[in-house]
Every structure is written in C-alpha cells, then in structure tokens.
Amino acid sequence: MAGFRESLRELVCQAAEGLGVEVLDVELARSGRTRALRVVIDRDEGVDLDTITQVSEVLSRALDRENSIPERYVLEVSSPGIDRPLRTQRDFRRQAGRMARVRTVEGFAGPREMDGEIVRGQDDAVVLKVAGEEILVPYEQVASAKVILPW
C-alpha cells in the first residue's frame, strides 16, 4: 500500500507543479462509504479560493486520466490554515513576525517550551525573540512549533 500512496502523491505533485503551489500533504482516507483524497497546498503569498479551484480542476483531470484511484472518492483541496504545525525552514520564513509556541527536544540547551516572535528562519535554525532576547533553535532541536493565534 505504501507504493500506491507514494505513486499517488507523486501524481498529485506532478499535476500541481506548474501551478505555483507546494503540495504539503496528500492523504487518502475513508469518509463514510467512499474515500476522500485530501490535498493540502500552500504558496508564499497564501492560497485563495481561485487557487484552490484551479488546483482542484487540474488534479481532478489528472486523476481521472490516470484512473489512479479504482473506487469512488471525493477530492478535497485546501490550504493548511494558520494554525498548522511549523515543520520546515520555509514554514518558519513564511511566518516571520508572528508569535509562535516552540517546544524543543529533550536535551536542548535552553527552554523546553517558549513563546516568542519568529525573527527569521535561517538555513539550519529558527531565531526567536523571547522576552527581548534572541534565541537560536536548530531545526533538529524543534519537537513541535505552531503559530499562536492572536485571539
């Protein structure tokens, strides 16, 4: 089944490639009696309804052409939402200037959990401003991170 999921992800990524979006997640899951193919996309300037519609149409044609899912399914394309976990350098760069809660791995030479402003995402670490002090947290030391919503 892993091979099927990998080839499905590859097909989705290839179909979306020319649309200027990044495919963050592809999940094929049960949804009642049918399956749901959930595709999460993003781009630097954010994702609007027109982009979701365009990606949905392109993916639908590609999936139908390849007959890649042998049973009934529903295609769901969405943006990641502001409260999604931050995982990559690109995620941290996109959220610069926002407040985030970062939990570090056991053994990190600093706080295990901190709320701070994302100053910048560097090649190998994120820089957070916590209580007026900049703290460098290497990505491999981040256990989890999420933007703190302002409300």
The number of beta carbons lying within 10 Å of the beta carbon of residue 91 is 20
Q: Is 18 helix (H, G, I), strand (E, B) or coil?
A: helix
Per-residue pLDDT of the chain (151 residues; tens, 9 = 90+): 557 778 888 999 988 888 999 888 889 888 778 889 999 998 877 889 999 999 999 999 998 888 778 788 899 999 887 777 888 888 898 888 999 999 999 988 888 999 999 999 989 999 999 999 999 999 999 999 999 987 6
pLDDT of residue 33: 81
Taken in order of first residue, the domains within the chain and their CATH numbers are 2-78 (3.30.300.70), 89-147 (2.30.30.100)
Residue pair 127/135 in contact (Cβ under 8 Å)? The answer is: yes
